[in-house]
C-alpha cells in the first residue's frame, strides 16, 4: 500500500504527463488525426515523416499521419505522409515492419540502412583513440543508431518542407525509455499522454492486425541483445506502468522502480539546462 505522500507523487506525475484514466479510442483517433491535420496546415508544411519500426506505437502514429494528410488533401491542401524504414543492416522483425506499412498504406515509403553511417561514427571515434566502456558499448552504440534514424527523418522532412513525428507515449515518457535527441526528438508526438494499453486500443479501433497490436514491445537497439523486451529493460511490466499512470494502487516496489526511472530521466523531458 502506498503512503499518502507517494499517492500525491503519483498524481503529480499523471498530471505532468497528461494521462486520462479512460478514453474513447475512436474519438481519440479522430481528435489526434485532426490535430495533426490542423498543425501541418498552420505550419505551412506539406508532409509528415515517421519511421516505421514494426511495433504498435509507430503503427498507430503512422495510421494517424496517413489519415491526417488525407483530410488535408480533401480540404484542398497539399500534403503527403512519408514512411521510413530505418534498419541497422538486417532487421530481425522486418516482416512486422513490412506488414505495418502494408496496413498503413503511406503515400511514400523509403528504406534507408543506417548501419554504414552508424559504423562509420564508431570507426572514426575508435581511430581518434576513443574507447567505449565495455559494459556500456552496446548501449551507447544503440543510442547512436537512434540518433542516426532521426537524422535521416529530418533530412527527408527538410527536403519536402515537412514535419517529423515521434511515436513516444506516456508509458515511455514516464520511464525515460527513449533516446535524447534520437526518437525523443520530433516536431510532434501524436501519442503523447497515452498509456501502452490505450495505444493498443487505438490500434484495435483502426482495425490493425492482432499480431502487431499484441507484439512484445522492443526498442531493438542493442546488437548484443536483439529484440530485448522493453519490460525486461524496465524491471516492471507495462501492466504495472499503465496501472500507475491511470491512478491505481501499485506495489511499493513497483512504485520505487518507476519513480527511480522517472527521476533519473527528468533531463530528457526538459529543454536544455541553462544558467
State the catalytic residues. 57, 172
Number of H helices, E strands in the chain: 12, 4
Interior/surface letters 48-80, b for 16+ CB within 10 angstroms, e for the rest? bbbbbbbbbbbbbbbbbbbbbbbbbeeeeeebb
> Which residues lie closer than 8 Å to 19 by C-beta, 6 or more apart?
170, 193, 194, 195, 245, 246
133: phi then psi, degrees, rounded to nearest 5: -55, 130
**Could you say which DSSP state residue 83 is in?**
E
CA-based torsion, 208, 213, 219, 224: positive or negative: negative
Residue 271's Cβ-count burial label (10 Å; 0-12, 13-18, 19+) is exposed
CA-based torsion, 261, 266, 268, 273: positive or negative: negative
Sheet with 47-51: strands ordered across: 108-111, 80-85, 47-51, 162-164
Whether residue 182 contacts residue 151, with contact meaning beta carbons closer than 8 Å, is answered with no
Q: Reduce the DSSP state of residue 184 to 3 states and report it.
A: coil
Instruction: Please identify which residue in the block is written with the cell numbers 538486417.
Output: 90
In 89-141, at which residue ranges do the beta strands (DSSP E only) sit? Answer: 108-111
Amino acid at each position: 500500500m502506498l503512503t499518502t505522500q507517494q499517492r500525491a507523487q503519483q498524481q503529480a506525475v499523471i498530471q505532468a504527463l497528461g494521462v486520462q484514466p479512460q478514453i474513447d479510442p475512436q474519438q481519440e483517433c479522430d481528435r489526434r488525426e485532426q490535430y495533426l491535420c490542423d498543425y501541418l496546415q498552420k505550419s505551412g508544411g506539406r508532409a509528415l515523416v515517421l519511421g516505421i519500426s514494426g511495433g504498435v506505437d509507430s503503427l498507430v502514429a503512422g495510421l494517424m499521419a496517413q489519415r491526417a494528410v488525407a483530410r488535408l488533401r480533401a480540404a484542398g491542401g497539399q500534403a503527403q505522409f512519408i514512411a521510413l524504414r530505418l534498419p541497422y543492416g538486417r532487421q530481425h522483425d522486418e516482416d512486422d515492419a513490412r506488414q505495418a506499412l502494408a496496413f498503413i498504406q503511406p503515400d511514400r515509403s523509403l528504406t534507408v540502412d543506417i548501419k554504414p553511417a552508424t559504423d562509420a561514427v564508431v570507426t572514426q571515434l575508435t581511430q581518434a583513440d576513443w574507447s567505449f566502456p565495455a559494459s556500456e558499448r552496446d548501449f551507447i552504440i544503440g543510442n547512436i543508431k537512434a540518433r542516426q534514424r532521426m537524422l535521416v527523418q529530418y533530412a527527408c522532412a527538410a527536403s519536402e518542407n515537412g514535419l517529423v513525428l515521434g511515436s513516444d507515449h506516456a508509458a515511455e515518457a514516464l520511464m525515460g525509455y527513449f533516446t535524447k535527441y534520437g526518437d525523443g526528438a520530433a516536431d510532434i508526438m501524436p501519442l503523447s499522454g497515452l498509456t501502452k494499453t490505450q495505444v493498443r486500443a487505438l490500434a484495435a479501433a483502426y482495425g490493425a492486425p492482432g499480431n502487431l497490436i499484441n507484439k512484445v514491445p522492443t526498442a531493438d537497439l542493442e546488437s548484443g541483445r536483439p529484440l530485448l523486451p522493453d519490460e525486461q529493460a524496465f524491471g516492471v511490466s507495462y501492466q504495472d506502468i499503465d496501472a500507475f499512470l491511470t491512478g491505481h494502487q501499485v506495489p511499493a516496489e513497483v512504485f520505487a522502480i518507476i519513480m527511480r526511472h522517472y527521476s533519473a530521466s527528468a533531463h530528457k523531458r526538459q529543454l536544455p539546462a541553462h544558467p
